[in-house]
Amino acid sequence: MSCRLAAGALRALLAVLPPLLLGACSALVPKVEVADTAPVRPAVVLAPVVNNGAIFQPSAYRPLFEDHRARLVGDTITVQIVEKVAASQTSSSSIDKTGEISAGITALPFFSPNSFNRAGASGSSSNSFEGTGTTESANTFTGTITATVVEVLPNGHLIVAGEKQIGVNHNVDVLRFSGQVDPRSIRPGNSVVSAQIANVRIEQRGRGPQAEAQAIGWLARFFLSVLPI
């Protein structure tokens, strides 16, 4: 009976342990909420056939001097990533307080005046405090990525998302990007600066031995997540 209870307890532990480990790993590894970067195929729109015998057909008309700019689902746009964030804060405080008191007795009834030559009391106190603090943070990210329009909002803004993977030997560098683009911010050449894109999400991660060497092991992550301190 004891062997059966031990086996049942072991099976229950093995069933509960993997979800705990996965939850611990996911809780300690921060992730950026980037939009889906899967390839997008634009919907096929069947133009109505008009047999009016004219040379000009509205369904196949393209302006001769039209700039190629992204505006439909599936179009691509080049994003110049130029992100620079810097913040600093400095604070200081100082408190200084000093106090002094003294008292003495010169005469009392029924006592000789010479008896109080050394009768006296004095005291002093001082309090001093000084504190300083400095906080500074700087972040710079530059690069270029070509994203795809994954959605067109009712106001005409474009939701773009893109992913770039570069593999060298056994290491893979992954760059993912998503954001909301105002078509009026698109420059000639079908490019836009990331500073003019709303809700920007940028993620750069590595996969491989080099990235694993800079990460905490899964067992250490588990204990860090369950320890109360």
E-strand spans in 44-185? 76-104, 120-152, 158-168, 171-181
Number of domains the chain is built from? 1
| Cα distance between residue 109 and residue 27, in whole Å | 82
Residue 182 binned pLDDT confidence (cut-offs 50, 70, 90):
very high
Strand order in the sheet with 197-207: 191-193, 76-104, 120-152, 158-168, 171-181, 197-207
Mean pLDDT score of the chain: 76
Q: Which residues contact 175 (CB under 8 A, 6 or more apart)?
A: 143, 145, 163, 164, 165, 166, 202, 203, 204
Q: Give the model's pLDDT for residue 207.
A: 81
| Cα distance between residue 191 and residue 186, in whole Å | 6
pLDDT in tens, 16-49: 555 555 554 544 556 667 777 776 666 665 666 6
Q: Is the pLDDT of residue 109 over 70?
A: no
Q: Give the model's pLDDT for residue 39.
A: 67
Q: Is residue 203 part of a domain?
A: no
Q: What pTM value is reported for the model?
A: 0.58
Q: Is residue 200 part of a domain?
A: no
- Residue from 212, 180, 220 nearest 196 by CA: 180
Residue 54 binned pLDDT confidence (cut-offs 50, 70, 90):
low
Listed ranges 27-31, 66-70, 73-77; the one with the highest mean pLDDT: 73-77
Parallel/antiparallel/unpaired status of strands 120-152 and 76-104: antiparallel
Tokens read off for 210: 């080099």
Q: Give the model's pLDDT for residue 112.
A: 65
Q: Is residue 160 part of a domain?
A: no
pLDDT in tens, 114-171: 666 666 667 778 888 888 888 888 888 888 999 999 989 988 899 999 998 888 888 8
Q: What percent of the chain has pLDDT over 70?
A: 63
Q: Is residue 124 part of a domain?
A: yes
Q: Is residue 129 part of a domain?
A: yes
Q: Please, which residues bridge with residue 88 across strands?
A: 136
- Provide the residue range defining the domain that includes 128: 90-134
Indicate the DSSP class of residue 172.
E
Q: Give the model's pLDDT for residue 181.
A: 93
More confident site: 227 or 60? 227
Q: Could you tell me where the DSSP H helices lie in the chain?
A: 2-28, 209-213, 218-226
